[in-house]
Protein backbone atom coordinates (compact mmCIF):
# COMPACT_ATOMS: atom_id res chain seq x y z
CA UNK A 1 0.00 0.00 0.00
CA UNK A 2 1.43 3.43 -0.86
CA UNK A 3 1.97 5.52 2.25
CA UNK A 4 0.05 8.78 2.67
CA UNK A 5 3.18 10.43 3.96
CA UNK A 6 6.85 9.54 3.75
CA UNK A 7 9.82 11.55 4.90
CA UNK A 8 13.46 10.61 4.33
CA UNK A 9 16.46 12.07 6.14
CA UNK A 10 14.35 15.00 7.27
CA UNK A 11 15.94 17.90 9.15
CA UNK A 12 13.96 20.83 10.54
CA UNK A 13 15.16 24.22 11.74
CA UNK A 14 13.53 26.72 14.06
CA UNK A 15 14.70 30.33 14.04
CA UNK A 16 17.66 29.41 11.84
CA UNK A 17 18.89 26.71 14.25
CA UNK A 18 18.64 23.01 13.45
CA UNK A 19 16.44 21.16 15.98
CA UNK A 20 15.77 17.76 14.35
CA UNK A 21 17.84 15.77 11.88
CA UNK A 22 18.01 12.34 10.26
CA UNK A 23 14.32 11.61 10.70
CA UNK A 24 12.63 8.91 8.62
CA UNK A 25 8.89 8.61 8.79
CA UNK A 26 6.15 6.70 7.02
CA UNK A 27 2.40 6.74 7.51
CA UNK A 28 0.21 4.22 5.70
CA UNK A 29 -3.57 4.65 5.38
CA UNK A 30 -5.20 3.58 8.63
CA UNK A 31 -2.11 4.24 10.73
CA UNK A 32 -1.75 6.64 13.63
CA UNK A 33 1.54 7.74 15.10
CA UNK A 34 2.04 9.67 18.33
CA UNK A 35 5.02 12.04 18.44
CA UNK A 36 6.57 12.23 21.85
CA UNK A 37 9.43 14.13 23.34
CA UNK A 38 10.21 16.83 25.88
CA UNK A 39 9.17 20.45 25.34
CA UNK A 40 11.23 22.19 22.69
CA UNK A 41 12.36 19.00 20.98
CA UNK A 42 10.71 20.18 17.77
CA UNK A 43 7.28 18.53 17.59
CA UNK A 44 5.49 21.63 16.36
CA UNK A 45 8.36 22.44 13.99
CA UNK A 46 8.13 18.94 12.51
CA UNK A 47 4.37 19.20 12.03
CA UNK A 48 4.66 22.63 10.40
CA UNK A 49 7.36 21.31 8.09
CA UNK A 50 5.25 18.31 7.09
CA UNK A 51 2.25 20.61 6.55
CA UNK A 52 4.33 22.59 4.06
CA UNK A 53 4.33 25.80 6.10
CA UNK A 54 8.13 25.86 6.29
CA UNK A 55 10.73 24.26 4.05
CA UNK A 56 12.74 21.34 5.47
CA UNK A 57 16.38 22.13 6.25
CA UNK A 58 17.34 18.85 4.57
CA UNK A 59 15.72 15.65 3.32
CA UNK A 60 12.58 14.99 1.32
CA UNK A 61 8.89 14.84 2.12
CA UNK A 62 6.55 12.83 -0.08
CA UNK A 63 2.87 13.39 0.52
CA UNK A 64 -0.16 13.00 -1.66
CA UNK A 65 -1.13 16.46 -2.96
CA UNK A 66 -3.82 18.27 -0.97
CA UNK A 67 -3.82 15.46 1.58
CA UNK A 68 -2.84 17.35 4.71
CA UNK A 69 -5.18 18.83 7.30
CA UNK A 70 -3.21 20.64 9.97
CA UNK A 71 -4.56 21.51 13.42
CA UNK A 72 -2.30 23.93 15.26
CA UNK A 73 -2.41 25.22 18.83
CA UNK A 74 -4.74 27.97 17.66
CA UNK A 75 -8.08 26.84 16.28
CA UNK A 76 -8.62 29.59 13.72
CA UNK A 77 -12.04 30.51 15.12
CA UNK A 78 -13.68 33.91 14.74
CA UNK A 79 -15.25 35.02 18.02
CA UNK A 80 -18.14 36.91 16.42
CA UNK A 81 -19.21 34.07 14.11
CA UNK A 82 -21.34 31.22 15.45
CA UNK A 83 -19.99 27.70 15.71
CA UNK A 84 -21.94 26.66 12.62
CA UNK A 85 -20.74 29.70 10.64
CA UNK A 86 -17.12 29.05 11.60
CA UNK A 87 -17.33 25.47 10.48
CA UNK A 88 -19.39 26.33 7.40
CA UNK A 89 -16.63 28.68 6.28
CA UNK A 90 -13.97 25.99 6.44
CA UNK A 91 -16.31 23.54 4.71
CA UNK A 92 -16.82 26.05 1.89
CA UNK A 93 -13.07 26.68 1.61
CA UNK A 94 -12.46 22.95 1.29
CA UNK A 95 -15.46 22.44 -0.97
CA UNK A 96 -17.32 20.00 1.27
CA UNK A 97 -20.68 20.22 3.04
CA UNK A 98 -19.94 18.16 6.11
CA UNK A 99 -20.37 20.95 8.67
CA UNK A 100 -23.53 19.53 10.25
CA UNK A 101 -22.14 16.03 10.57
CA UNK A 102 -18.88 17.35 12.00
CA UNK A 103 -20.74 19.35 14.67
CA UNK A 104 -22.69 16.25 15.65
CA UNK A 105 -19.57 14.07 15.70
CA UNK A 106 -17.97 16.25 18.35
CA UNK A 107 -21.18 16.74 20.31
CA UNK A 108 -21.53 20.40 19.37
CA UNK A 109 -24.92 20.36 17.63
CA UNK A 110 -26.62 22.06 20.58
CA UNK A 111 -24.08 24.91 20.44
CA UNK A 112 -24.31 25.47 16.68
CA UNK A 113 -25.82 28.96 16.95
CA UNK A 114 -23.64 30.17 19.81
CA UNK A 115 -20.94 32.72 18.84
CA UNK A 116 -17.56 31.04 19.12
CA UNK A 117 -16.42 33.78 21.49
CA UNK A 118 -18.94 32.53 24.07
CA UNK A 119 -17.74 28.94 24.03
CA UNK A 120 -15.58 27.50 26.80
CA UNK A 121 -11.96 26.60 26.07
CA UNK A 122 -12.83 22.91 25.72
CA UNK A 123 -15.78 23.63 23.43
CA UNK A 124 -13.59 25.84 21.23
CA UNK A 125 -11.06 23.06 21.00
CA UNK A 126 -13.77 20.61 19.96
CA UNK A 127 -14.90 23.06 17.30
CA UNK A 128 -11.32 23.35 16.10
CA UNK A 129 -11.10 19.56 15.86
CA UNK A 130 -14.45 19.38 14.05
CA UNK A 131 -12.75 21.46 11.33
CA UNK A 132 -10.60 18.41 10.52
CA UNK A 133 -13.72 16.48 9.52
CA UNK A 134 -14.96 19.17 7.11
CA UNK A 135 -11.62 19.35 5.30
CA UNK A 136 -12.27 15.88 3.86
CA UNK A 137 -8.51 15.30 3.81
CA UNK A 138 -6.96 11.94 4.73
CA UNK A 139 -3.80 13.00 6.58
CA UNK A 140 -4.30 14.75 9.93
CA UNK A 141 -1.37 16.52 11.55
CA UNK A 142 -2.44 17.30 15.11
CA UNK A 143 -0.57 19.52 17.54
CA UNK A 144 -1.64 18.74 21.13
CA UNK A 145 -5.25 18.02 20.12
CA UNK A 146 -6.49 17.12 23.60
CA UNK A 147 -5.41 20.29 25.42
CA UNK A 148 -8.27 21.62 27.59
CA UNK A 149 -10.55 18.69 26.73
CA UNK A 150 -12.24 16.80 29.59
CA UNK A 151 -12.17 13.00 29.84
CA UNK A 152 -15.47 12.55 28.01
CA UNK A 153 -14.35 14.80 25.17
CA UNK A 154 -11.01 12.98 24.88
CA UNK A 155 -12.89 9.69 24.52
CA UNK A 156 -15.20 11.28 21.98
CA UNK A 157 -12.27 12.57 19.96
CA UNK A 158 -10.56 9.16 20.09
CA UNK A 159 -13.74 7.72 18.60
CA UNK A 160 -13.70 10.32 15.82
CA UNK A 161 -10.05 9.55 15.19
CA UNK A 162 -10.72 5.82 15.07
CA UNK A 163 -13.49 6.41 12.52
CA UNK A 164 -11.11 8.51 10.43
CA UNK A 165 -8.47 5.76 10.47
CA UNK A 166 -11.10 3.15 9.57
CA UNK A 167 -12.00 5.23 6.49
CA UNK A 168 -8.40 4.98 5.32
CA UNK A 169 -7.12 8.16 6.90
CA UNK A 170 -3.94 8.59 8.90
CA UNK A 171 -2.89 10.81 11.77
CA UNK A 172 0.34 12.15 13.19
CA UNK A 173 -0.25 13.42 16.71
CA UNK A 174 2.12 15.47 18.85
CA UNK A 175 0.98 14.97 22.41
CA UNK A 176 1.96 14.56 26.04
CA UNK A 177 -1.42 13.20 27.08
CA UNK A 178 -2.75 9.68 26.84
CA UNK A 179 -4.88 9.50 23.70
CA UNK A 180 -7.01 6.47 24.63
CA UNK A 181 -5.84 5.08 21.30
CA UNK A 182 -3.85 1.93 22.09
CA UNK A 183 -3.37 0.98 18.45
CA UNK A 184 -1.35 4.12 17.71
CA UNK A 185 2.38 3.72 17.24
CA UNK A 186 4.79 5.93 19.12
CA UNK A 187 7.70 7.90 17.69
CA UNK A 188 10.11 9.23 20.28
CA UNK A 189 11.73 12.38 18.88
CA UNK A 190 14.54 12.82 21.40
CA UNK A 191 17.00 10.53 19.50
CA UNK A 192 16.63 12.72 16.40
CA UNK A 193 17.53 15.90 18.23
CA UNK A 194 20.08 17.76 16.13
CA UNK A 195 23.57 17.33 17.52
CA UNK A 196 25.14 20.74 17.73
CA UNK A 197 28.86 20.91 18.24
CA UNK A 198 29.86 23.46 20.83
CA UNK A 199 31.33 26.55 19.21
CA UNK A 200 35.08 26.38 18.65
CA UNK A 201 37.69 28.87 17.54
CA UNK A 202 37.87 28.01 13.85
CA UNK A 203 34.10 28.33 13.37
CA UNK A 204 33.99 32.04 12.78
CA UNK A 205 35.46 31.92 9.29
CA UNK A 206 33.11 29.18 8.13
CA UNK A 207 29.98 30.07 6.21
CA UNK A 208 26.80 30.69 8.19
CA UNK A 209 26.03 28.07 10.84
Partner 1 sequence: MSLWEYANPKKFMETSARLLPWVAGLAAAGLAVALVWGFFLTPDDFRQGATVRIVFVHVPAAMMAINAWVMMLVASLIWLVRRHHVSALAAKAAAPVGMVFTLVALVTGAVWGQPMWGTWWAWDPRLTSFLILFLFYLGYIALWEAVEDPDMAADLTGVLCLVGSVFALLSRYAVNFWNQGLHQGASLSVAPGERMDIVYRLPLYVAMAAFALLFLALVLARTRTEIRARRLKALIARERLA
Partner 2 sequence: MRALLLRDLRLALRSGGGFGLSLAFFLIVAVLVPLGVGPEGATLARIAPGILWVGALLSCLLSLDRIFALDREDGSLELLATAPIPLEAVAAAKAAAHWLTTGLPLVAAAPLVGVLLNLPGQGTGWLVASLALGTPALSAIGTFGAALTVGLKRGGLLLSLLVLPLYIPTLVFGAEAVARGAAGLPAATPLLLLAGITAGAVALLPFATAAAIRVNLR
Interface residue with partner 1 among 9, 17, 76, 118 (CB under 8 A) is: 17
Query: Rounded to the nearest whole angstrom, what is the least distance from the CB of residue 56 to partner 1 in the complex?
Result: 14
The residues of the shown chain that bind partner 2, judged by CB under 8 A, are: 51-55, 66, 68-70, 72-78, 80-81, 85, 89-90, 92-95, 131, 135
Which among 68-76, 138-146, 157-165, 194-202 is the span making contact with partner 1, rule CB under 8 A? Answer: 194-202
CA distance 131 to 10: 28
Are residues 141 and 47 in contact, defined by beta-carbon separation less than 8 angstroms? yes
Query: Rounded to the nearest whole angstrom, what is the least distance from the CB of residue 201 to partner 1 in the complex?
Result: 11
CA distances from 141 to 16, 87, 95 (A): 23, 18, 20
Interface residue with partner 1 among 1, 2, 15, 65 (CB under 8 A) is: 15
Nearer to partner 2, 73 or 197 (CB): 73
Query: With binding defined as CB under 8 A, does residue 201 bind partner 1?
Result: no
- Binding mask 167-186 toward partner 1 (x if CB under 8 A, else -) reads --------------------
Nearer to partner 2, 83 or 181 (CB): 83
Nearer to partner 1, 16 or 95 (CB): 16
Interface residue with partner 1 among 2, 16, 80, 113 (CB under 8 A) is: 16
Q: How many residues bind partner 1 (CB under 8 A)?
A: 14
Edge to edge, the sheet with strand 5-14 lists 17-27, 5-14, 58-63
Which among 23-31, 79-87, 129-137, 190-198 is the span making contact with partner 1, rule CB under 8 A? Answer: 190-198
Region of 4 (left: φ > 0; alpha: ψ -120 to 50; beta: rest) is alpha
Interface residue with partner 1 among 73, 80, 197, 202 (CB under 8 A) is: 197
CA distance 8 to 40: 22
Query: With binding defined as CB under 8 A, does residue 203 bind partner 1?
Result: yes
Give the closest residue to 137 by CA, choosing from 96, 183, 80: 96
* Binding interface with partner 1 (CB under 8 A): 15-17, 196-199, 203-209
Amino acid sequence: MTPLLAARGLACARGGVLVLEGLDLELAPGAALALRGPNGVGKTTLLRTLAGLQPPAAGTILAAPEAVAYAAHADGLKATLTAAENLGFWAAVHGTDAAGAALAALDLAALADRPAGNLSAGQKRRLGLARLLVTGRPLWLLDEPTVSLDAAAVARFAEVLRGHLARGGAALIATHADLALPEAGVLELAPFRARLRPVTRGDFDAAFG
